[in-house]
Amino acid sequence: MASGERPKILIRDLNKAFGSNHVLRNLNLEAGAGESVVVIGGSGTGKSVLIKCLIGLMEPDSGTIELDGEPITGLTAAEREAKMARFGLLFQNGALFDSLSVLDNVAFGLVSAQGRPAAEARVTALEKLAQVGLDESVGSMYPAELSGGMRKRVALARTIATEPDILLFDEPTTGLDPVAGDVIDQLILKCVRELGATALTITHDMESAKRIGDRIAMLYDGRIIWVGPADAVDASGNDHVDQFVHGRVDGPIAFAARRH
C-alpha cells in the first residue's frame, strides 16, 4: 500500500477475549484498495476470530475497524447488514447450504442481498460457476454430492457472485491436495484481480500465502508481529516468522493447546 493513501480496511487496537483467554490483543492491521493481504499464524492463534470480527459475526471487546475511513464496529443490525453486502467470505469448509442445489447456493446472495429475480440470478450464477471452472451440469447437484475441491469452487463462486469489493478467505486450501490447492489459489487470484477487490486471507499454508498475497502479516499471541511483502517472508529476520515459515519445531513459538 502506498504511504499516505487511505487504507480500505484499517484495524486499530482490536481486542477480543473469551473468558480469560485473550485471543486478540491490540491487533493492528491495514489493507489498501485492491491489495491482497495474507495473515499467517498457527492453529488457534485467533485468525478466524479476526475475520469474524471484521465481518460482524463477532463483536470485538475494544478497538476499531474502519472501512474506507468509516467505523464498522458497534453498528446496529440494519447498518451492519448494509455494510455486509460489501463483503464476500469464503468459509473454511465452504458452508454451502445442504438443502439447496449448487445453482441456488450460488444465486442465493444475488436474490437475498441484491433482490434480483430468481431467473436472472440463476443466469448470473451459471456465469460465476463457469468462472471457477464448473460447467452447467454441476448446477443441479447438491453439496453432499461434490468433492472437497468442487465444494471450494462452488463456495468461491457464491462468494464472488455479488461482486463484493472486499473478499475474505478463511483457510482456502485447508483439506485440499496440493494440486487442488494450487487451482483454488489461482482462481482466487483471478477473481480478486477481475473484481479489483481488496482481499484478506487467513491461512497457515505458506505456499498458498506466497501465491495469493501481496503482503503477508504474521499473527502470534494475539498481535501482528511482522508485516512485509510476500516475497520477503523467507528472509524476514524475525525468529517467529522464520520458525513458522520453515516449519521448525525448535524456536520461540511454543505449542499450546488453545480453544480458538
CB 117 to other proteins: min, Å: 14
Question: Is residue 1 a contact residue for other proteins (CB under 8 A)?
Answer: no
Instruction: Locate 82 and state its grid cell.
Output: 448494509
Binders of other proteins among residues 4 to 23 (CB under 8 A) are none
Per CB under 8 A, the list member of 97, 189, 190, 214 interacting with other proteins is 97
Q: Are 127 and 133 in contact (CB under 8 A)?
A: no
Question: Is residue 95 a contact residue for other proteins (CB under 8 A)?
Answer: yes
CB 260 to other proteins: min, Å: 11
Q: Are 73 and 60 in contact (CB under 8 A)?
A: yes
Q: Report helix, strand or coil for 159.
A: helix
Q: Where in the chain does DSSP place strands (E)?
A: 9-18, 21-31, 36-40, 62-67, 70-71, 87-90, 166-170, 198-203, 215-220, 223-229
Q: 97 vs 189, which CB is nearer to other proteins? A: 97
Secondary structure (DSSP) of 162-215:
T--SEEEEESTTTTS-HHHHHHHHHHHHHHHHHHT-EEEEEES-HHHHHHH-SE
Mark the segment that binds other proteins (CB under 8 A) among 32-40, 90-98, 171-179, 196-204: 90-98
Per CB under 8 A, the list member of 10, 14, 96, 253 interacting with other proteins is 96
- Residue that the C-alpha cell 482456502 belongs to: 172
Nearest to 223 by CA among 47, 26, 11: 26
Question: Is residue 92 a contact residue for other proteins (CB under 8 A)?
Answer: yes
CB 122 to other proteins: min, Å: 15
Q: 109 vs 172, which CB is nearer to other proteins? A: 109
Mark the segment that binds other proteins (CB under 8 A) among 3-11, 95-103, 208-216, 230-238: 95-103
For the sheet containing 87-90, what is the strand order? 87-90, 166-170, 198-203, 36-40, 215-220, 223-229
Q: 10 vs 55, which CB is nearer to other proteins? A: 55
Binders of other proteins among residues 135 to 174 (CB under 8 A) are 158, 162
CB 112 to other proteins: min, Å: 4
According to DSSP, the β-strands at 62-67 and 70-71 are: antiparallel
* C-beta neighbour count of 34 within 10 angstroms: 16
Binding-site string for other proteins from residue 49 to residue 88, where x marks contact by CB under 8 A and - marks none: ---x--xxx-------------------x---x--xx-xx
> How many chain residues touch other proteins (CB under 8 A)?
24
Instruction: Locate 127 and state its grid cell.
Output: 456465469
Q: What angle do CA 144, 147, 153 make, to 5 degrees?
A: 100
Per CB under 8 A, the list member of 24, 36, 53, 91 interacting with other proteins is 91
Contact residues: other proteins, CB under 8 A = 52, 55-57, 77, 81, 84-85, 87-89, 91-93, 95-98, 108-109, 112-113, 158, 162
